[in-house]
């Protein structure tokens, strides 16, 4: 722990990437592999399951420091970080010996705290922080609270491992996928496997490949041709609103990995069953969505195409799979297929600990595959997307399993035609368009190969809402009120006794100068306080943007919005003219 705490201080004190890289390499070369395994886990973004409840930890630390609750809370608000607050307030250590290795601290002291009876948990916790040197406490509590951040990116950790092992950073990046998953307990063998000489195989076990990520596209309408070239140089797909995933089939074993490096095979048993039909040495990249096939519409009822252009290999009208097979229903107004459901449907499965038969029946999922990364054990990522897509379509057509479907390809006559497709993405299940160069390779993350994949998202939904609650932020914003709760009116103007109903929280979208101005208004207009939350006089209106909307019984407003953020401060709009819940409900997919 002492060496890792020293590394933390060195990394935290430096803004030089070269200095941080040198510190990482020095630590990894000198550390015992068991300690290095955990160091890489935390530095690369791993978070163990919470060892003790945060509220309980605060109370134990407050009692040990001998402080009243109000003073501890004020200290926390001023510092902005719970781990740092506890480390500063605890009585100093009387004496600390040489200390234990990082791996021993994690495996034999921190992780076993989870699930212990409170009295035993309190006794062990106090013994642990008394035996830690003051300089080590901060790191220990950051690991315990899941707030370990030290200004080192996963790419920097990858580069350090590559330098220590004398390896290609791309190989190390591949090996790191899944290393930081929740619940992982990395061992010395796991660390040594990261820096071992290449085996020559495309991949090992059921490891996925690092996900290739798209860059956001923000171009004026008249700049597309100049910036991107002809539209025919690109494959165009819907940007699905689901869970990005890779399905890996090797040596008879199937694994499903999310982009967050979670092994989610048990969450999607129907996909795991379908994937058993894939040949060994296959890796698919795609999006998991809830899909319900709509009723079959007789061919006579299918309306004629709305315009020229093609979707897949057939005229626009009915949606067409990439393989050229017509879908069951027409493509309404050139919009996305009707089978895909909003992300809120998928959340029903994500949030459940157990998957009952009814839930599986009510929320059927499919993988909409858009890339083939490995075939017959050969890594295809360096080949062109056009070739990978051709082989993907042939593979899925041969398997013929409805749970594994090719993501439909769209074709536009020109970029203006493409913009019209994007305009019809809003009804649900998609977030816009994906543009991928036909001749592009499959890269790593979002830091390389800029310009091969673009995400052209639809404009956000928005309403004008009223700020009613405010709370202090964290870190450098710990002294400012930056986290806000917004509300909408429950009735139109001139309605007697209408009320503001909270519906969303947001903390991003304002400049530092705007935050300072709002902070001053919050302090001046506070009506009452509830712990760290201030209830303010409704005087401020903001335009809030969000990606999607769904009904929710867990919210007072009856609505849940996805990724809310402040688009602008409506200084021109009085509070009485803010939007209503009816305006918000009108944005539901069924209402549009």
- Selection from 199-208, 372-381, 555-564 with the highest mean pLDDT: 372-381
Q: Does the structure show a pLDDT above 90 at 320? A: no
Confidence of residue 557 (pLDDT cuts 50, 70, 90): confident
Domain ranges within the chain, ordered by starting residue: 2-145, 215-293+305-457, 461-591
- Between CA 29 and CA 162 the distance in angstroms is 12
Q: Which range, of 47-56, 88-97, 284-293, 314-323, averages the lowest pLDDT?
A: 314-323
Pick among 3.40.50.720, 1.10.3260.10, 2.60.40.420, 3.40.50.300: CATH of 2-145: 1.10.3260.10
Residues 262-287, buried b or exposed e (16+ Cβ, 10 A)? bbbbebbeebbebbeebeebbbbbbb
Whole-prediction pTM value?
0.70
- Between CA 367 and CA 90 the distance in angstroms is 51
Question: Which CATH superfamily includes the segment(s) 215-293+305-457?
Answer: DNA ligase/mRNA capping enzyme (3.30.470.30)
Looking at the chain, the whole-number percentage of residues with pLDDT higher than 90 is 43
What pLDDT, in 10s, does the model give residues 245-279?
999 999 899 999 998 888 889 889 999 999 999 99
Return the CATH class of domain 461-591: mainly beta
* Phi-psi map region of 214: left, alpha, beta (phi>0 left; psi -120 to 50 alpha): beta
What pLDDT, in 10s, does the model give residues 108-137?
988 898 888 888 988 888 888 888 888 888
Q: Does the structure show a pLDDT above 50 at 306? A: no
Q: Which among 421, 199, 415, 193 has a CA at the least distance from the CA of 307?
A: 421
Q: Does the structure show a pLDDT above 90 at 53? A: no
Q: What is the average pLDDT score of the chain?
A: 85
Q: Does the structure show a pLDDT above 70 at 316? A: no
2-145 and 461-591 have identical folds: no
The answer for residues whose C-beta is within 8 angstroms of residue 579's C-beta and 6 or more apart is 463, 464, 465, 488, 489
CB 480 within 8 A of CB 473: yes
SS3 485: strand
What's the average model confidence in pLDDT over 380-399? 96
Confidence of residue 447 (pLDDT cuts 50, 70, 90): low
For the record, the structure tokens of 180 come out as: 């930081």
- Between CA 264 and CA 570 the distance in angstroms is 43
What pLDDT, in 10s, does the model give residues 564-576?
999 999 998 999 9
- Between CA 239 and CA 234 the distance in angstroms is 14
What's the average model confidence in pLDDT over 329-342? 61
What's the farthest any 2 CA atoms get from each other in the chain?
A: 86
Q: Does the structure show a pLDDT above 60 at 61? A: yes
CA 384 to chain centroid, in Å, comes to 28
Sign of the Cα torsion 412, 413, 418, 421 reads negative
CB 206 within 8 A of CB 254: yes
Residue 481 bridge partners (DSSP): 472
Q: Which among 121, 47, 54 has a CA at the least distance from the CA of 83?
A: 54
Q: Which range, of 244-258, 261-275, 294-308, 525-539, averages the lowest pLDDT?
A: 294-308
CB 174 within 8 A of CB 207: yes
Q: Does the structure show a pLDDT above 60 at 26? A: yes
Confidence of residue 426 (pLDDT cuts 50, 70, 90): low
What Å distances lie between residue 380 and 284, 384, 490, 564, CA to CA?
Answer: 11, 8, 55, 38
Q: Reduce the secondary structure of 415-467 to three states and give it as a string.
A: HHHHHHHHHCCCCCCEEEEEEEECCCCCCCECCCCCCCEEEEECCCEEEEEEE
Q: Which range, of 323-337, 343-357, 515-529, averages the lowest pLDDT?
A: 323-337
What pLDDT, in 10s, does the model give residues 201-241?
555 678 889 899 998 888 887 788 888 999 999 999 999 98
What's the average model confidence in pLDDT over 127-156? 84
What's the average model confidence in pLDDT over 85-108? 82
Confidence of residue 79 (pLDDT cuts 50, 70, 90): confident
CB 303 within 8 A of CB 329: no
The confidence score (pLDDT) of residue 202 equals: 53
CB 264 within 8 A of CB 257: yes
SS3 379: strand
């Amino acid at each position: 722990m002492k060496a890792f705490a020293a590394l933390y201080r060195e990394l935290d004190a430096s803004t030089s990437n070269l200095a941080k890289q040198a510190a990482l390499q020095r630590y990894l070369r000198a550390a015992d592999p068991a300690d290095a395994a955990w160091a890489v886990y935390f530095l690369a973004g791993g978070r163990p399951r919470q060892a003790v409840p945060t509220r309980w930890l605060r109370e134990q630390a407050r009692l040990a420091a001998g402080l009243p609750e109000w003073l501890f809370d004020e200290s926390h608000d001023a510092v902005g970080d719970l781990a740092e607050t506890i480390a500063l307030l605890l009585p100093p250590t009387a004496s600390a010996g040489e200390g234990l290795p990082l791996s021993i601290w994690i495996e034999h002291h921190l992780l076993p705290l989870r699930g212990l009876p409170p009295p035993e948990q309190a006794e062990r916790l106090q013994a642990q922080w008394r035996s830690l040197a003051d300089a080590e406490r901060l790191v220990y509590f950051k690991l315990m609270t899941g707030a370990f951040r030290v200004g080192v990116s996963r790419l920097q950790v990858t580069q350090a491992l590559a330098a220590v092992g004398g390896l290609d950073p791309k190989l190390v990046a591949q090996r790191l996928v899944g290393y930081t998953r929740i619940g992982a307990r990395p061992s010395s063998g796991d660390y040594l496997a990261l820096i071992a000489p290449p085996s020559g195989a495309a991949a090992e076990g059921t490891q996925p490949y690092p996900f290739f990520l798209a860059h956001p596209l923000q171009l004026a309408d008249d700049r597309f041709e100049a910036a991107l070239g002809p539209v025919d140089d690109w494959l165009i797909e819907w940007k699905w609103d689901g869970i990005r995933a890779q399905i890996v089939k090797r040596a008879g074993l199937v694994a499903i990995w999310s982009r967050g490096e979670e092994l989610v095979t048990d969450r999607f048993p129907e996909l795991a069953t379908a994937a058993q039909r894939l040949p060994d040495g296959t890796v698919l990249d795609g999006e998991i969505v809830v899909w319900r096939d709509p009723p079959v519409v007789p061919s006579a009822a299918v309306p004629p195409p709305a315009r020229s252009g093609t979707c897949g290999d057939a005229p626009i009208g009915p949606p067409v799979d990439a393989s050229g097979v017509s879908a069951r229903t027409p493509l309404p107004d050139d919009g996305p297929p009707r089978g895909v459901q909003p992300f809120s449907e998928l959340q029903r499965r994500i949030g459940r600990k157990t998957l009952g038969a009814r839930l599986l029946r009510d929320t059927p999922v499919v993988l909409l595959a858009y890339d083939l990364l490995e075939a017959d054990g050969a890594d295809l990522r360096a080949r062109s997307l056009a070739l990978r897509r051709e082989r993907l379509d042939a593979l899925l057509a041969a398997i013929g399993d409805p749970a594994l479907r090719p993501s439909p390809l769209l074709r536009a006559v020109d970029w203006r035609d493409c913009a019209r497709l994007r305009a019809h993405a809003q009804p649900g299940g998609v977030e816009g368009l994906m543009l991928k160069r036909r001749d592009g390779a499959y890269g790593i993350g979002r830091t390389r190969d800029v310009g091969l994949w673009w995400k052209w998202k639809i404009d956000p939904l928005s309403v004008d809402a009223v700020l009613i609650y405010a709370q202090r932020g964290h870190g450098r914003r710990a002294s400012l009120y930056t986290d806000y709760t917004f509300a909408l009116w429950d009735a139109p103007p001139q309605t007697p006794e209408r009320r503001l109903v909270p519906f969303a929280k947001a903390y991003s979208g304002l400049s530092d100068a705007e935050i300072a101005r709002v902070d001053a208004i919050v302090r001046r207009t506070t009506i009452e306080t509830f712990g760290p939350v201030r209830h303010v006089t409704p005087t401020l209106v903001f335009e809030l943007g969000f990606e999607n909307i769904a009904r929710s019984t867990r919210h007072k407003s009856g609505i849940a919005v996805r990724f809310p953020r402040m688009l602008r401060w409506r200084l021109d709009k009085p509070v009485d003219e803010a939007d209503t819940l009816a305006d918000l409900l009108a944005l539901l997919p069924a209402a549009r």
